[in-house]
């Protein structure tokens, strides 16, 4: 199984400041034949289902604000919120869909400082 | 509007069975794989199972393999999860989700609100 780890476990950022979340996979999730990273990022607010933010590691889902961006390749990935807004307080998860089982990271909680 | 509505959750005794359903609307159901993910109280997300758009391929987490069966009825736009030999550790909110590919290897781009399964005596 591919193990997903995230860092930090939690972070507090001032409104308008940058938040950076890291995700690491135990094996590469880059599929050589199409040069795509099988990595997604989700946002979950308390009491709500997860919401897809980013897929293929860096493609923003339709309707997601452009302050959210994804980067990285192979085994190391980053989700960046360029200017934190109050509504971004949530838990963020990465997930690999490269191989079964499609594992999630443990989550990173983002709060306002 | 794409919508997913789960039903079928409830309280069940250890060793019991339960069938979850997910009614889908707003998209061509048979063109997309569908999946289930769960979240135990206070815990993170766990992928449970995925089925391809045709229903011909199914995939399971080791934790549920042999106990859970995923299926779909493309004529009724419905996804199901038959759960048997339930354990306390299966207690969770179960979400159905649309997968952004027909085969199953894709992000989960639309999620339902979830249905709660509690396994307890």
Q: For B52-66, how does the pLDDT look when each residue is reduced to its tens digit (9 = 90+)?
A: 999 999 999 999 999
Q: Does B113 touch chain A (CB under 8 A)?
A: yes
The answer to whether the CB of B109 falls within 8 A of the CB of B98 is yes
Task: Please identify among residues 51-70 of chain A the ones whose CB lies closer than 8 Å to any CB of chain B.
Answer: 51-52, 55-56, 61
Which of B36, B57, B107, B108 to mutate: most A Cβ within 10 Å?
B107
pLDDT of residue A55: 98
pLDDT of residue A31: 97
Nearest CB to A49; choose among B35, B105, B112? B112
> How confident is the model over B61-114, as pLDDT tens digits?
999 999 999 999 999 999 999 999 999 999 999 999 999 999 999 999 999 999
pLDDT, mean of residues A42-53: 96
Beta strands in B1-121, from DSSP E residues, in sequence order: 3-7, 10-12, 18-25, 34-39, 45-51, 58-60, 68-73, 78-83, 92-99, 108-111, 115-119
Inter-chain contact A101–B61, Cβ cutoff 8 Å? yes
pLDDT of residue B2: 96
Which of A20-59 are b and which e, b meaning 16 or more Cβ less than 10 Å from the residue's Cβ? ebbbbbeebbbeeeeebbbbbbbbbeeeebbbbbbbbbbe
């Amino acid at each position: 199984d591919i193990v997903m780890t995230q860092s930090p476990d939690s972070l507090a950022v001032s409104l308008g400041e940058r938040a950076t979340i890291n995700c690491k996979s135990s094996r590469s999730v880059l599929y050589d034949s199409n040069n795509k990273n099988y990595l997604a990022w989700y946002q979950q607010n308390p009491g709500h289902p997860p919401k897809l933010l980013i897929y293929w590691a860096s493609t923003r889902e339709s309707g997601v604000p452009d302050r959210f961006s994804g980067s990285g390749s192979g085994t190391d990935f980053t989700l960046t919120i360029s200017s934190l807004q109050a509504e971004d307080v949530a838990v963020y998860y990465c997930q690999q869909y490269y191989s079964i089982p499609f594992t999630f990271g443990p989550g990173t909680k983002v709060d306002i400082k | 509007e794409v919508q997913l509505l789960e039903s079928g959750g409830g309280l069940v005794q250890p060793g019991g069975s339960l069938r979850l359903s997910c009614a889908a609307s707003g998209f061509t159901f048979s063109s997309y794989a569908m999946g289930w993910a769960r979240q135990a109280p206070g815990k993170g997300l766990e992928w449970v199972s995925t089925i391809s758009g045709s229903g011909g391929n199914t995939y399971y987490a080791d934790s549920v393999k042999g106990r859970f069966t995923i299926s779909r009825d493309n004529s009724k736009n419905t996804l199901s999860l038959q759960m048997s030999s339930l354990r306390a550790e299966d207690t969770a909110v179960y979400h159905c989700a649309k997968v952004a590919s027909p085969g199953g290897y894709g992000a989960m781009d639309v999620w339902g609100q979830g249905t709660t399964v509690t396994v307890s005596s």
